[in-house]
Amino acid sequence: MAFSAQTEKYSGKMGTLTFGSGDQALTVGGQAAMPFGSFDGELPNKAVIAMEVYDVVNPEWPAAVVDPFKDVINDPVAWAKKNVEEYGAKAICLQLTATDPNGENKDAAYAADLVAKMLDAISVPLLVWGCGAVEKDAEVLAKVCEVNEGKNLLVGPAVEENYKKIAAAALGYGHAVVSQSPIDVNMAKQMNILISNLGLPMDKIIMEPSTAALGYGVEYSYSVMERISLAALAQNDEKMQCPMINDIGKECWKAREVMLSEKEEPGFGPDQEKRGVLWEAITALDMLIAGSNLLIMRNPKAVKLVEECIEELTA
């Protein structure tokens, strides 16, 4: 008798999210099976990596994430262009560090203007990420949405304390929103309910269930994401059927293991760059296997490595 592999039938399907405008628009999500499980169901869209660009760089960054951008590191627009043209970035994530009230505290108009310039300079979809100060992010991201109306940006993170303003602006000016929650299945769902209650459709929301780096709790992110995927697919829980995004670069490139040289920590071995690249790539792979659809990454070699893996696993 011929061998026939058992397959898992899921009653639900993950929704999709499209960001960017015109021919540049990208769609993620829409999977009807667990990650890379094409034998169980359709996986219509490959995961996408958005490469990071900072408006202010922390001087403590290790060489592995400074050297590739040395010539453009003080010019975020040029950096974005370089990521696209030289490193083949499929999307860009602008990290608005300069708006942090505890840092340079630049205003919303600055951010909106920077986003507009970046949109003019690049030909791929753009994510705009706030500094993490909830009130400031609401103000800045609302302005970014308003000034760049209709560009279908992906803005975030919207959290419980500021989602209303951000989601309202995204709804009003035609953008999509990252809904971030503290590493818990139910809280992720609650954020989706709250944001969609405001009228933003589910296909304009992507979840960031809180990302932890390898060695810093990646297993927690993993299990929460896997449970979200199962709730969406196996239980057909429609409020869980938003694709997922992970903010990886920021978490990985502050880990002790990537920051310290062999001199400071002999046990870590000589190749600090390789160590950092692998740290980011392996964290990213973990997130992909947990069900991520969109990854924010920093190092070009790590990005290349993960993209090769995606190609191989979906071939």
Partner 1 sequence: MPNPIHQVTFQPNNQTVDVFRHGENLLRVAIAAGVHINASCGGNGGCGKCRVIIDQGQPESEKSAKISPEEWDKGYRLACTTKVVDDLTVTIPPESRIDNSVLRKDLGQKQHTLMARDLNSLVQGVKINPAVFKYYIELPAPTLDDNLSDLGRLTRELKNEHQLENISADYFLLRRLPRLLRDAKWQVTVTIVYNPKGLKLIDIEAGDTRDKNYSIIIDIGTTTVQGQLLNLNASHQAEERSVIDDLESELLVASDAKYNSQVRFGEDVITRIVYSQKGNGLNELHREIIKDLNEIIDNLVNKGGIEKDQISHLVVAANTTMTQFFLEIDPKYLREDPYVPTANFFPPVRAIDLGLKLPDYVHVYTFPAVASYVGGDIVAGTLGSGIFQREELTLFLDVGTNGELVLGNCDWLVCTSCSAGPAFEGGGLKYGMRATTGAIEQVRINPQTYEPMLLTIGKEKPLGICGSGVIDAIAEMLLVGLIEPNGKFNQELNTDRVRKSETGWEYVVAKADQSAEGIDDITITEGDIDNIIRTKGAIYAACKILLESVGLTFAELDSFVIAGGFGKYINLERAITIGLLPEIDVEKFMFVGNGALLGERLVSVSREMMGEAQNIAAMMTNIELANNMKFMDEYVAAQFLPHTDTNAFPKTMEMLK
List residues binding partner 1 (CB under 8 A): 160, 184-187, 189-190, 193-194, 197, 237, 239
Q: Is residue 101 reached through a cis peptide bond, with omega within 30 degrees of 0 on the bond before it? A: no
Give 188's DSSP letter: H
96 φ, ψ (degrees, to nearest 5) = -90, 70
Could you list the beta-strand ranges (E) of 12-158: 16-19, 26-29, 48-54, 91-95, 126-129, 154-158
Cβ neighbours of residue 249 under 8 Å, at least 6 residues apart? 52, 65, 280, 296, 297, 298, 299
Cβ neighbours of residue 69 under 8 Å, at least 6 residues apart? 79, 82
Nearer to partner 1, 76 or 157 (CB): 157
Nearer to partner 1, 47 or 185 (CB): 185
State in angstroms the smallest separation of the CB of 78 from partner 1.
Answer: 41
State in angstroms the smallest separation of the CB of 258 from partner 1.
Answer: 33
Number of H helices, E strands in the chain: 10, 10
Task: Enumerate the H helices of the chain as residue ranges.
Answer: 76-85, 108-121, 134-147, 163-173, 185-197, 218-233, 248-252, 256-259, 272-290, 300-314
Nearer to partner 1, 239 or 254 (CB): 239
Placement of tokens 């209303």 in the chain: 164
C-beta neighbour count of 25 within 10 angstroms: 12
Nearer to partner 1, 4 or 11 (CB): 11
Nearer to partner 1, 104 or 135 (CB): 135
Among 99, 98, 97, 67, which Cα is nearest to 82's? 67
Token duo for residue 91: 């999307």
Instruction: Indicate the burial class of 17 (C-beta count within 10 angstroms; 0-12, 13-18, 19 or more).
Output: buried
State in angstroms the smallest separation of the CB of 140 from partner 1.
Answer: 19
Nearer to partner 1, 116 or 194 (CB): 194
Nearer to partner 1, 221 or 272 (CB): 221
State in angstroms the smallest separation of the CB of 138 from partner 1.
Answer: 12
State in angstroms the smallest separation of the CB of 186 from partner 1.
Answer: 4
State in angstroms the smallest separation of the CB of 189 from partner 1.
Answer: 5
State in angstroms the smallest separation of the CB of 196 from partner 1.
Answer: 11
State in angstroms the smallest separation of the CB of 170 from partner 1.
Answer: 17
